[in-house]
Chains A and B, each alone.
Chain A
């Protein structure tokens, strides 16, 4: 197991294993995926979107995308922060229309993750009206678009693991 690399930790890819060595033939992809994760989930300057809100959005997208192992990592971040209410809201996939800021952000995450073609100018203007700056809007959109990258990377590597085990 490799606790320094989220993807390898989830998949149980051991340091020095053939798949770990293969991934190190693309060091920039490794380094910048890690960097994107850091800048999106726990940036030094989070603007108007807190680390807790960011983890809740990531949790929601991982759940919508059906990746339970990845979702568990984001849930753990929220548990560590004692953000029980955020967990409850993020894990509520009932499509009910709840009031409040986090539910509105979670609905935006759902649109971007599952039906990005349904986002309109009004959708973005509603985020601005909630007090999000252009920088916050880009950060949130980057975040909820990055989790789908992780989901497919994990799924592809899992298939390669299965191939090696066969």
Chain B
């Protein structure tokens, strides 16, 4: 198993990122569509090389992770941390494990999942989220209505389930971008 952590992890792009000072109007506009806290990160400045796709994809990411109501933000962060572990993305795992911990104050629970995998998770809601997140990530073709039953059993309504599906799908995307376009340094 990879060494997953919620400590800060470095990431170096394999192509030159856009420089904020010399960015084109289209690149700046695309960055504006991205989450405010991250739009000056090296990763987003790298994606800004293709502003047309970043503008739409950044806005999609923003909506999936931050749209109000529905699935609580901590659950979205927990799910995306589990997806990132399943995809072997140490960088994304660290970011979203940290955000989950900030929102939930459940540092020990998160650390246990990072160290031992989500099979050790005892909280029923997080366990249901983790199981579904991993299955939709690794074997989407095998997912059926039966896989939603544990989510319903912990009280999730339709909008929460849709938000969870969006979060998992978004990180099928994010984990691939992050691992392909740059080098993670532990």
A154 CB contacts on chain B under 8 angstroms: 140
Which of B136-186 touch A at CB < 8 Å? Answer: 136-137, 140-141, 143-145, 147-148, 158-159, 161-166, 168-170, 172-177, 179-181, 183
Which of A112-166 touch B at CB < 8 Å? Answer: 112-113, 116-117, 119, 121, 124, 128, 133-139, 141-146, 148-160, 162-163, 165-166
Interchain CB contact under 8 A, A65 and B140: yes
Interchain CB contact under 8 A, B87 and A116: yes
Interface residues of B, count at CB 8 A: 53
Count how many pairs of residues, one from A and one from B, have CB atoms less than 8 Å apart in the complex. Answer: 173
Given A28-B63, A138-B181: A148 and B173 within 8 A (CB)? Answer: yes
Please measure, in the bound complex, the distance between the C-alpha atom of A66 and the C-alpha atom of B166, giving whole angstroms.
19
Interchain CB contact under 8 A, A22 and B159: yes
- Please give me the residue from chain A that is nearest to B26 by CB atom: A45
* B contacts with A: majority SS: helix
A166 CB contacts on chain B under 8 angstroms: 145
Q: Is B8 an interface residue (CB 8 A)?
A: no
Name the residue in B87, B89, B145, B148 with the highest tally of chain A Cβ atoms < 10 Å from its Cβ. Answer: B145
Q: Is B20 an interface residue (CB 8 A)?
A: no
Please measure, in the bound complex, the distance between the C-alpha atom of A119 and the C-alpha atom of B148, giving whole angstroms.
34
A139 CB contacts on chain B under 8 angstroms: 50, 52-53
Interchain CB contact under 8 A, B60 and A116: no
- Please give me the residue from chain B that is nearest to A111 by CB atom: B180
Name the residue in B47, B63, B176 with the highest tally of chain A Cβ atoms < 10 Å from its Cβ. Answer: B176
Please measure, in the bound complex, the distance between the C-alpha atom of A2 and the C-alpha atom of B22, giving whole angstroms.
43
Please measure, in the bound complex, the distance between the C-alpha atom of A81 and the C-alpha atom of B86, giving whole angstroms.
37
Q: Is A39 an interface residue (CB 8 A)?
A: yes
0 or 1 for each of B31-54: is its CB under 8 Å from A? (1 = yes):
000000000000000110110111
Interchain CB contact under 8 A, B176 and A40: no
0 or 1 for each of B99-136: is its CB under 8 Å from A? (1 = yes):
00000000000000000000000000000000000001
Q: Is B16 an interface residue (CB 8 A)?
A: yes
B1 CB contacts on chain A under 8 angstroms: none
Interchain CB contact under 8 A, B172 and A151: yes
Q: A142 contacts which of B59, B161, B177 (Cβ < 8 Å)?
A: B177
Q: Is B72 an interface residue (CB 8 A)?
A: no
Please measure, in the bound complex, the distance between the C-alpha atom of A106 and the C-alpha atom of B50, giving whole angstroms.
20
* A contacts with B: majority SS: helix
Given A26-B162, A40-B53, A145-B176: A160 and B59 within 8 A (CB)? Answer: no
B176 CB contacts on chain A under 8 angstroms: 112-113, 116, 141, 144-145, 148
Given A26-B166, A43-B52, A139-B53: A35 and B141 within 8 A (CB)? Answer: no
Chain B positions within 8 Å of A, measured between CB atoms, are 14-16, 46-47, 49-50, 52-57, 59-60, 62-64, 67, 70, 87-89, 136-137, 140-141, 143-145, 147-148, 158-159, 161-166, 168-170, 172-177, 179-181, 183
Q: What are 5 residue pairs bridging A and B, where the CB atoms are less than 8 Å apart in the complex?
A: A28-B62, A39-B53, A39-B55, A141-B181, A156-B165
Question: Closest 8 A-B residue pairs measured CB to CB?
Answer: A156-B165, A162-B145, A35-B56, A155-B140, A28-B63, A116-B179, A32-B60, A148-B172
